[in-house]
Chains A and B, each alone.
Chain A
């Protein structure tokens, strides 16, 4: 058994070393945002003491095992400082050395300047500078998927208003976050969503018919009629089924990342949440834990300004979410969430860091929730209509990206009208078919509660069928049995 453990350790180490060789330079290059060097040096020193294997300690080597607890009180880099020196300047408290100061200075509750926001395309979709080069194929797919998502949202929202589905929520205004982040990942990266990220599924190949079937909860539904609309999921596409609980997916993602880490996979976990979700206790636990276990997970926050009717000013008093990263020891970045290219670049880079350095990364994508929270909400009741309109039109991420691809000669108004009308037709057809498809059969009520159907549920199914036979008038006639 010990052999197995050592081998898996070795394979993780070798794998990571291989990655380090390729990307190690990238990780350490000066174009990266500045890192706190003291922290790294500290870790390397304790690592040297700690590792049982004989490989030399790489400068930025990920710590595969957490430093054993005994070391936390040992002084690091003693280098000749003695406690009886008249003006000793630091002390080894548990957790590492801390310099003293005679100036009593409280750290301000708010920074002089907010953390700046990374952007690469200006408001008119013109390239400012930087960003990862994106080829025509990916750019066009990103644009088409964003437009498809927007069209799907409009049509399904209307379907709910017409009473054809019971519930829906849109991603309007946040299409860039969905699609650009999905494009920057690989299919092996495991997605643990909140609920406003169907675009990631769309990018990976979930069909419009599948979306419709889930919303109509019919026989074709991958969820077998178990869930409300928009609670999509696909094991095949590595996208965890949406749950309604807010922020519970954050520690789940860390668990997934831990599993990927143990398997030494070239993949990371990716999880999404909103500005409101960051208030949950699970957010704190997940970030803290991810840092401590050095889990390869991307935390992508869609800071869209609103949690139903709660504006961010009532949600927190920090400079958004990005500043919390440092508090947990998590590297973080703030990105313009309506800039497709900036998002693509940031997520791509974050992914490499997460996997090759085996660490969590926090990305705060600034954006605006153009739509209502859901079909159960009317946001004009708590925010000004012209604010919504501004973000819907002038700040629309899709239009902005369209200008960029058009300026590259990759898109045209013909292509646009063709795409929109095709997608619209496909959606209307999908809805019509989904609406007429049978509901899930009775047996689906009783399966999947456990891995194997327990005897009491088989019994109940039997009784139910008998009861329906004896009293058919008490049950709707269109019940598939």
Chain B
């Protein structure tokens, strides 16, 4: 099943199960979704539940939040999360904080979803990763699926969750196919929020990743295996709440950690994971934590520059080797 079909079927089933769920965003209806994620939903559920909006992220996000205040369950689609910047006040100040500020009187069961992070050749304003932006805010839950199983299970969980959820997809993953079990295809399937998944078990080094980078980490693990390094790949699935228990348990087993993300390094997801591991498992670390992140520059466009600005499989392999003392550390003092 492709990730696109996984998301589409999850939306379909949740809209079918609960009449309060509705989809809103630019091009989600007649156009079948800018990335065709909402294909067929307008015909099936009608324009009341699949709303094509005017071009105003601030507007439709605010309206979605208001509808959620009053008991509907909106799914707000951003054409990309870059455009959510125009709506971030509503996401943070109107959605994330409302349950707290109102002492539980106003709950906001809303989902904000859309593609996040780098695509291919779309430049700086279409390639930003917002995982750490949203994950820093209490009151939000932030999820990022990798496989079709993740996409289905996490989106269903997000729609059912009473808290506001930011759901970070990836454009390049939409077309990828993953095997899915019968359990995943069942309409009640759900993946728990806040639990990471160990995609590949290993004993020498822990590699954490989310979204597209999970695929890269798995490829890196294959390469490392040939060189005798057994890497454990953790698919975070949930950026907030972060599954610190799984990560720390893994590091206590392997004693080495490489964090991988596409976004900018400063104050990123890897920084938080590193801090968590240092706080809770310092004695277990046999090497400094290696952080692989996107280059600290706005995303360039030229294909060669773009390739250099985004983590590649080779970067992950070399980082794992450094963590295992198989090659010289990058910041090696003389």
Contacts and interface: CB of A to CB of B under 8 A. Distances in A.
Contact of B19 (A8, A233, A250, A444): A8
Given A233-B106, A245-B89, A223 B101 contact: yes
B297 interface: no
Contact of A450 (B48, B53, B141): B141
A256 B101 contact: no
B44 A252 contact: no
B98 interface: yes
B181 interface: no
B139 A450 contact: yes
Given A289-B53, A292-B54, A223 B103 contact: yes
A435 interface: no
Contacts of B99: 448-451
A235 B100 CA distance: 14
Nearest to B241: A454
Contacts of B244: 456
A285 B58 contact: yes
Given A252-B69, A451-B162, A454-B241, A1 B45 contact: yes
B239 interface: no
A254 B44 contact: no
A241 interface: yes
B187 to A, nearest CB: 12
Contact of A256 (B47, B53, B66): B66
A449 B139 contact: yes
A72 to B, nearest CB: 11
B103 A1 contact: no
Given A248-B90, A255-B63, A449 B100 contact: yes
Nearest to B139: A449
Nearest to A291: B54
Nearest to A70: B30
A226 B19 CA distance: 33
A262 B62 contact: no
A234 B60 CA distance: 25
Contacts of A257: 66
Nearest to A233: B102
Contacts of B98: 241, 243
A447 interface: yes
Given A5-B49, A248-B93, A259-B70, A222 B62 contact: no
A282 to B, nearest CB: 6
A289 B59 contact: yes
Nearest to A285: B59
B246 to A, nearest CB: 13
A226 B62 contact: no
Contact of A240 (B106, B161, B241): B106
A231 interface: yes
Interface in B4-30: 15-16, 19, 22, 30
Interface string A277-296: 00001101110110011000
B105 interface: yes
B227 to A, nearest CB: 37
- Summarize B's interface: helix, strand, loop or mixed: mixed
Interface in B255-272: none
A226 B71 contact: no
B71 A451 contact: no
Nearest to A52: B46
Nearest to B141: A450
Given A8-B19, A289-B53, A451-B162, A224 B103 contact: yes
B66 A2 contact: no
A220 B131 CA distance: 38
B77 to A, nearest CB: 15
A249 B98 CA distance: 12
Nearest to B162: A451
A325 to B, nearest CB: 17
A235 B48 contact: no
A201 interface: no
Contacts of B72: 255, 258-259, 262
Interface string A242-273: 01010011111111111110100000010000
Nearest to B110: A255
B228 interface: no
Contact of B56 (A233, A243, A285): A285
B163 interface: yes
A241 B66 contact: no
Contacts of A284: 56, 59
Contacts of B179: none
B64 interface: yes
B159 to A, nearest CB: 14
B62 A66 contact: no
B247 to A, nearest CB: 13
Given A258-B67, A448-B99, A245 B93 contact: yes
Nearest to B240: A454
6 contacts: A1-B45, A64-B48, A285-B56, A285-B59, A289-B56, A447-B104
Leading 9 A-B pairs by shortest Cβ distance? A255-B66, A285-B59, A251-B62, A252-B66, A255-B67, A224-B103, A255-B63, A235-B105, A241-B102
Given A249-B66, A258-B63, A262-B22, 13 more contacts: A69-B52, A190-B70, A243-B98, A252-B66, A253-B66, A255-B63, A255-B65, A255-B69, A256-B70, A281-B56, A282-B62, A284-B59, A450-B99
Interface of B: 15-16, 19, 22, 30, 44-49, 51-54, 56, 58-72, 74, 89-90, 93-94, 98-107, 138-139, 141, 161-163, 194, 241, 244
